Amino acid sequence: GAGVSQSPRYKVAKRGQDVALRCDPISGHVSLFWYQQALGQGPEFLTYFQNEAQLDKSGLPSDRFFAERPEGSVSTLKIQRTQQEDSAVYLCASSLETGGFGYTFGSGTRLTVV
């Protein structure tokens, strides 16, 4: 596609519910990143994929967070047993190059945990 596509655009989850957020990167982009953006703050790194390999997951805040990119294209970020502190915008970005150069961000998924 022309850009990075994320779905759903908005998600309201009850505390304790599991959620799955989808990212469809730009076709051919090798690198894929997930970031979490709290209100009024900069994006915070969660995890990085190069093709299907998850090279860095140091930013995932707890073992309730899990990400995958099984075929090196679409990625899913899963959050189990959601908590209120998980409420944020989850941004996906992709890049043609390996490493962190020249991100194109998606529009994000705004997750609200009630």
Partner 1 sequence: GENVEQHPSTLSVQEGDSAVIKCTYSDSASNYFPWYKQELGKRPQLIIDIRSNVGEKKDQRIAVTLNKTAKHFSLHITETQPEDSAVYFCAASGDTNAGKSTFGDGTTLTVKP
Q: What three-state secondary structure class fits 85?
A: helix
Give yes or no for residue 61 binding partner 1 (CB under 8 A): no
- Residue 35 CA to residue 66 CA, distance in Å, equals 13
Among 19, 23, 33, 90, binds partner 1 (CB under 8 A): 33
Give yes or no for residue 54 binding partner 1 (CB under 8 A): no
Q: How far is CA 49 from CA 1, 62, 66, 81, in A?
A: 19, 18, 12, 24
- Residue 103 CA to residue 57 CA, distance in Å, equals 18
Stretch that binds partner 1, among 20-28, 49-57, 61-69, 77-85 (CB under 8 A): 49-57
Give yes or no for residue 31 binding partner 1 (CB under 8 A): yes
Question: Which residues sit at the interface with partner 1, rule CB under 8 A?
Answer: 4, 31, 33, 40-45, 48, 50, 55-56, 58-59, 91, 95, 98-108
